[in-house]
A and B are shown apart, each in its own frame.
Chain A
Amino acid sequence: MSPLLIKNGRVVDPASNYDRNADVLVENGRIAAIGPHLSSMAADILDATGLIVAPGFLDLHVHLREPGQEHAETIETGSRAAAAGGFTSICAMPNTSPVNDSATVTSYIVDRARKFGVANVFPIGAITKGSQGVELAAIGSMKNAGAVAISDDGAPVMSARVMRRAMEFARSFDLPVIDHCEDLTLSAGGDMHEGLHSTRLGLRGIPSASEDVMVARDIMLAQTTGARFHVAHLSTRGALRMVADAKKQGLPVTCEVTPHHLSLCDSELAGYDSNFKMKPPLRSKRDVAALIEGVASGIVDAIATDHAPHPGSEKMQEFEKCPFGIIGLETALGVVLEKLYHPGKIGLMRLVELFTAGPARVLHLDRGRLAVGSPADLTLFDLETEWTYDVNRSYSKSKNSPFHGKTFRGGPVATVVSGQVVWRRE
């Protein structure tokens, strides 16, 4: 593999607080040098004039549907979509079929990713067997096989006792516990956020309290056990306040927010379009405003997409029958630029941190930074070029996006994984 020289970009690395025009030289899949006026006789040149050169983006929350639901997505198609969104690393949630609750499934995913993955794939193991919420999964063995966290995403652990045991065990393996915080008895039957719009549309509501009570429970349990607790796709202002308080107390609590929860609210459901149906649901305008503030003020650790592919036939039913979830890898950066960067809510360094050093810290993972010797995962993006998202040209197998036809200002330009350019904007 020939060396790669990325010339004349604006290199931004939050982990080292670096922001200047420089070149990046990549050799043998690792970063060999960062600095002005680098040269290499043998290297391929990637001209990054006018572009931001950032550490490779890391997405903590992706559903790749393999094994078992390959009609919706595969490791190959999902990781291609990731690369097209500027992500060099993605974490695969365990709600596959079978559930990733054993070293066997974890190893299978790692193996398939090595063969077919375009981006790095880090599996997340289940908390409980089959994500049934009863018996703990093989947490230690999954870690040894490559799991970077545990979660029963989509089928949250309802028993506080089981969650306590999981946290105790995870702590001893230095694994974070990622919880999809939803009290299923409060959200049961709900299709959208409970509020004025659900009342008007005659759709059953998912109250904010269903998320808040579980965030509260898990913070208490993190305090009891000392485990690292990460809130998946945080969506309410109440949950955000509790995370802020927990951080103030010095508890090992972190959270992620999705691009859609930062940009869309429950009024979007007026047309009963299932591309706006997800869990947690799109919340109220006040929640969206609070989340944007939370990102700006530093409470939020990471942007994560919750990329959740569902084939068209499943999304073309009566609204209440449609599954929850939308794809999001290819639009994440565009949305965050539009809602946070261009309006001046956050600066460039913070923007990059939310996609790199922030999520890497959640996992204690040696990714998301630019340092000589570290893996050469890089994301090149620009801040100004307008482009329009056409979901029919998505790399994902599924087309369930609320952002189809939307024009963004700035987005991914090239994605480098282990020193290789795996995607470039046409």
Chain B
Amino acid sequence: MPQGLLGIEELDRAEIEAILARAKDFQPIQHQSFKKLDTLKGKLIVNLFFEASTRTRTSFEIAAKRLGADSVSITASGSSVSKGESLVDTVNTLAAMRPDAIVMRHAASGAPHSLARHLAIPIINAGDGTHEHPTQALLDARTILDQRPKLEGLRVAIIGDIAHSRVARSNVHLLSKFGVDIVLCGPASLLPQELARIAPGVTLTNDIRGAIRNADVIMMLRVQLERQHEAAFPAGEYFQFYGLRLEHLALAKPDAIVMHPGPINRGRELASEVADFQRSVILNQVENGVAVRMAVLERIVGQNVAAAH
């Protein structure tokens, strides 16, 4: 990973395993009273968020700080982007201030990829449009592995607005590389048939019960109202057919876990009782976000720094 992290699709299994293992090393630090390392001391990381984000941006900021790096966060509304500066010019301006990495979120698919072609500074993709969100998939894998000895052989159901979900794409690529049986489920208009060919081990269904049956992991996606440019399903029918309710959980494996990348919409894709369900690991995901992003930052920015532990 010499040039940042743009997506999961192009990573190999060994690289993913290395990041996940390193993230496990960082987990205990989150519980210490003194949480700061000096691995990336003197390094500067810029978080450049062209799209609203609370948890991802905060998580990256905390990860950078816990590694001893300085971090600066810029959001689109407060930057020159709102003054009409182009994306390339904004990023070139920031690059001239010599950060060691740019963490970037953008509403346009491929925005970090086209920038990476012009830039010598590593870019870490914190979500690009409806394409990929690699650190989310890594933290999801870390969370599953905290509950299960390995990914191989698991059955993971991903349910919701798959078409518009970068979380789904990154998860599919990651889980597929580990031989997971992946079931994608959603209304037909949000579940393009081509998804079945996007990676090995993927099947599609429009039936939430079929998707959940025997699942080890149920991953719910947010209904992305901001990405729907038209009505893709009849108003009011989403929760009725694709909302996760407690009764559904009986179809899954007895120890199945429920995940959600957040922010959750109680009553829209998830019944409130499910969000608070004892085998819901939604907050574990958030916690693992910091450890995983520490592992990613260390790997990309700290290439010349000896491992801290």
Contacts and interface: CB of A to CB of B under 8 A. Distances in A.
Interface of A: 188-189, 194-196, 198-203, 205, 271-274, 313, 316-321
B118 to A, nearest CB: 9
A321 B194 contact: no
Nearest to B118: A316
A316 B192 contact: no
Interface in B74-106: 86-88, 106
Contacts of A272: 109-111, 113-114
Given A196-B198, A200-B169, A202-B129, A271 B113 contact: yes
Contacts of B109: 201-203, 272, 319-320
Contact of B131 (A195, A201, A274, A316): A201
B1 interface: no
A248 to B, nearest CB: 32
Given A196-B197, A318-B114, 17 more contacts: A189-B229, A196-B194, A199-B192, A199-B198, A201-B110, A202-B109, A202-B129, A202-B130, A202-B131, A203-B129, A203-B130, A205-B192, A272-B109, A272-B110, A272-B113, A272-B114, A319-B114
Contact of B86 (A189, A273, A316, A319): A316
A186 to B, nearest CB: 11
A324 to B, nearest CB: 16
Nearest to A316: B88
Contacts of A274: 114
B29 interface: no
Across the A-B interface, give the 7 residue pairs with the lowest CB-CB distance, nearest first: A272-B110, A202-B131, A318-B108, A202-B130, A202-B109, A199-B194, A196-B194
A200 B166 CA distance: 10
Contact of A321 (B9, B108, B128, B130): B108
A271 B194 CA distance: 19
Contact of B132 (A188, A189, A196, A202): A202
Nearest to A318: B108
Contacts of B194: 195-196, 198-200
B110 A318 contact: yes
A189 B197 CA distance: 23
B264 interface: no
Nearest to B131: A202
Given A202-B129, A202-B130, A272-B114, A319 B108 contact: yes
Contact of B166 (A202, A313, A316, A317): A202
Nearest to B129: A202
B117 interface: yes
Interface bin, chain B: 20 to 34
Listed residue (A195, A201, A273) with the most chain B CB atoms within 10 angstroms of its CB: A201
A271 B198 contact: no
Interface string B182-196: 000000000010110
Contacts of B132: 202
A319 B86 CA distance: 13
Contacts of A195: 194
A199 B110 contact: no
Given A199-B195, A201-B109, A318 B87 contact: yes
A271 B10 CA distance: 12
Nearest to B113: A272
Interface string B123-134: 000001111100
A271 B86 contact: no
Contacts of A198: 194
Nearest to A205: B192
A194 B189 CA distance: 13
Nearest to A195: B194
A318 B108 CA distance: 6
A81 B141 CA distance: 54
Contacts of A271: 113-114, 117
Interface string B115-151: 0010000000000111110000000000000000000
Nearest to A198: B194
Nearest to A185: B230
A273 B198 contact: no
A190 to B, nearest CB: 11
Contact of A318 (B111, B195, B197, B198): B111
Contacts of B131: 201-203
21 contacts: A194-B192, A199-B192, A199-B194, A199-B195, A202-B109, A202-B131, A202-B169, A203-B110, A203-B129, A272-B109, A272-B111, A272-B113, A272-B114, A273-B114, A316-B88, A317-B86, A317-B88, A318-B111, A319-B110, A319-B114, A320-B129
A28 to B, nearest CB: 53
Interface string B147-163: 00000000000000001
A320 B108 contact: yes
Contacts of B117: 271
Nearest to B114: A272
Interface in B274-292: none
A187 to B, nearest CB: 12
Contacts of A320: 108-109, 129
Given A318-B87, A318-B108, A319-B108, A202 B128 contact: yes
A194 B163 CA distance: 12
Interface string B226-252: 000100000000000000000000000
A201 B106 CA distance: 14
Residue of A199, A202, A273 contacting most chain B CB atoms (<10 Å): A202
A189 B229 CA distance: 8
B296 to A, nearest CB: 20
B112 to A, nearest CB: 9
Contacts of A313: 86
Contacts of B9: 200
Contacts of A203: 109-110, 129-131
A312 to B, nearest CB: 10
A318 B113 contact: no
Contacts of B163: 199
A320 B9 CA distance: 21
Nearest to A191: B109
A138 B34 CA distance: 79
Contacts of B88: 316-317
Contacts of B130: 202-203
A114 B64 CA distance: 65
Contacts of A273: 114
Contacts of A199: 163, 192, 194-195, 198
Nearest to A271: B113
A316 B88 CA distance: 7
